[in-house]
A and B are shown apart, each in its own frame.
Chain A
Amino acid sequence: MPTLKLYVGIWLGLIAIVAIETVLAFSHLSTSALIASLLLLAIVEAGVALRYFMHLKYEPPALFWTLIPAIVFALLMMNQVWPDARRLVSLHFP
């Protein structure tokens, strides 16, 4: 199992990622670049939290394969909303 030193290191790493996210938010990136970088950093944070804080790294692999691909698939399927969201803009009354 992980040591306290590792936990503290991960905690500091997560705080550093939050700081990077905040700097990016105020660094005048284009909206799409900002969304992509914030999402990427949030996914990295979530991955670290799942592996170490929630101990998925130390659980039997069957637990990971039973749960995580299913939720990733469900979340990926939700991406079907974007074409309709963009269509909404053109449907506004003048």
Chain B
Amino acid sequence: MMLEPSPIGAVPTKKFVMWLFIIADAATFGAILFGYGYLRVGSLNWTRPFAFSPSIINALVMTVVLLTSSLTMLIAVSAARDGRKSDAVRWLGATILLGVVFAVLHLREWASLIGEGWSLSANPMGGSTLVGATFFGITGLHLLHVVSGVIAIGVITIGFNRGRWDASYVETTGLYWHFVDLVWMFVFPLVYLLNAHA
């Protein structure tokens, strides 16, 4: 089978395409975070809904879980490259598990906020309703990426385990997963910490 040469020298086409997706997605998240900043600066009655306990502690745990899942993904990619298939599958499984834990913690937090009266169009603290709209919008888009990533890693794990796909597929999926982590590095301080109250 003839493969088209990569446009960037030694970078495989598959990986380059993932990088292009990541750059486009970074622009999307960038625009959304700038939109959040715009609304926040332009609102007179912005409220800060997050207390240190339980909201910020929960977000801290979620952050550590996501960072740890990047580490397990790196170990999985190394194992896949070295041809240690069972190790790679095990570490991919750990990454999936951590992704699921992140999503569950996130949904639990959402349920708690919704229970307090927060929604896309309601602010139980009496301030701007844009607080809920931006919070659920930004974290919802990120959560969608996490869930998509968990599904993608699951599919790749099965294909890699059956010998259908090689280590390059694991590496390309890993790139996406690290990007999801990278986005959270901005969401956590800008959406959680800047909305924390003493």
Chain A residues near B (Cβ < 8 Å): 1, 4, 7-8, 11, 14-15, 18, 21-22, 24-26, 34-35, 38-39, 41-42, 45-46, 49-50, 53-54, 59-60, 62-63, 66-67, 70-71, 74-75, 78-79, 81-82, 84-89, 92
Contact = CB atoms under 8 A, between A and B. Distances in A.
B19 A15 contact: no
9 contacts: A8-B71, A11-B67, A49-B181, A60-B11, A63-B11, A78-B30, A82-B38, A84-B42, A85-B41
A74 B42 contact: no
Interface residues of B, number: 47
Given A18-B60, A54-B175, A62-B11, 5 more contacts: A11-B68, A25-B189, A34-B194, A39-B189, A53-B181
B122 interface: no
Contacts of B194: 25, 34-35, 38
B136 interface: no
The B interface is mostly helix, strand or loop, or mixed, namely: helix
A49 B130 CA distance: 31
B143 interface: no
Please report whether the interface of chain A is mostly helix, strand, loop or mixed according to DSSP.
helix
